Copies of this chain bind each other. A is one copy, B any other.
Amino acid sequence: MKVLYAQSGGVTSVINASAYGILDEAQKAGLEVYVGIHGISGVLKENLLKINGKSIDGLKYTPSAAFGSCRRKLKSQEDINKLFEIFEKYEIEYFFYNGGNDSMDTAWKLYTEAKKRNTPLKVIGVPKTIDNDLPYTDHCPGYGSAAKYVAIAIMEATLDLRSMYVDSTRVFVMEIMGRHAGWLVAAAGLGWLNGIGADIILFPEVPFNKEKFLDKVDETIRKKGYCSIAVSEGIRYPDGFFVADMGYTDSFGNRQLGGVGFTIAGMIRSELSLKTHVAIPDYLQRSGRHIASRTDIEEAEGVGRQAVKLALDGISGVMVTINRISDNPYKIEYSTIELNKVADKTKYLPEEFHKDFEVTEKYFKYAKPLIEGELFPEFKNGLPNYTIFKEVDG
């Protein structure tokens, strides 16, 4: 019996912990295990790596897709036929696809095709996204670590700002990923659990009101001398236009977004005459394994192991989900949802989790357990010693 695992979509700092869970659990079950290099893109090119006999322990400590990811959607019947040709050639009985909502759509298409063809292929989706926007799961592996990164980054940067404000920079702006949902930018408020965090959070769910925003900056400066701001890359004006819209579309027809952090800082400079600094962590916030959440790492591994157990029980066509049993003590259990229910859906930050420019007590209660604990990577030469599979390079 043979297993195929592949990684897909934007990566996280703990997706390889899921890989570790799946590959280890499958090998323990005596299965022959293959990995697709760069998701279905690699599978389509028969770029498969046999895992049995390889050392995989380092995966638990390595960020980003150790086996490469892709953004390829499954659109043509030709691609589907090609994939099934390869599944047959390698006698794959279990396919585990580790990704976000687009990837679950791919998994769902393969599942329905398998049923149509009446082949024994089982397909299980394994969730992963720093955006935390998959429905039917309390949260997504990858979110806790990205949230922890964002919370710590703005805590530390705000300490820097408050050092400097008397005769230098008065406003710090940090631009956070999450074009549609405000889950990740919300984490900029978590530092208040320990006394310092973002003074103002701009959520993509809340239409941007420039006047109200500048009033709030001014009020904060008057009160404490400085103001730190976390802004989602996806904030929009009430008419739906992105605040960072550059006014034109790129060669692929997408609206070109500039750095919204600089747009916001520019407003503050010109309207309030205050010196600003802007940080755009970009990839750093989703690859910061050196400060990942232990809870998140353990759950990422957990959903991986659970996926293998489900497949061995003959289950197919579902994504593993996380149900929260209690907040304190924090307790979860794994469950499942049909893949088609998750595909291409977005779960927004609930209204009860934010108010004006802040997060609420309910959000603190929700997010705190997800960022708890550390599990530092091994250090060598003063730096993390990450696991690197050469096969991923071109």
The answer, among B165, B196, B259, for a CB contact under 8 Å with A386, is B196
Distance, CA A2 to CA B153, complexed state (A): 37
Say whether A318 faces chain B, with CB atoms less than 8 Å apart: no
A152, A163, A370, most chain B CB atoms within 10 A: A163
The answer, among B165, B224, B287, B371, for a CB contact under 8 Å with A159, is B287
Binary interface encoding of chain A residues 221-238 relative to chain B, with 1 for a CB under 8 A from any of its CBs, else 0:
001111000000000000
Q: Is the CB of A64 within 8 A of B194?
A: no
A156-170 contacts to B, CB under 8 A, are: 156-157, 159-168
Q: Is the CB of A392 within 8 A of B11?
A: no
Q: Which residues of B contact A153 (CB under 8 A)?
A: 284, 288
Known: A259-B259, A259-B262. A381 touches B63 (CB 8 A): no
Q: Which residues of B contact A279 (CB under 8 A)?
A: 280-284
Stoichiometry, copies per complex: 2
Q: Is the CB of A162 within 8 A of B68?
A: yes
Q: Which residues of B contact A226 (CB under 8 A)?
A: 394
Say whether A316 faces chain B, with CB atoms less than 8 Å apart: no
Say whether A109 faces chain B, with CB atoms less than 8 Å apart: no
7 A-B pairs in the complex with CB atoms less than 8 angstroms apart:
A62-B159, A153-B288, A156-B384, A163-B392, A193-B381, A194-B386, A251-B273
Ranked nearest first, the 7 interchain pairs of A and B with the lowest CB-CB distance are A225-B394, A371-B382, A65-B163, A279-B282, A156-B287, A64-B159, A157-B283
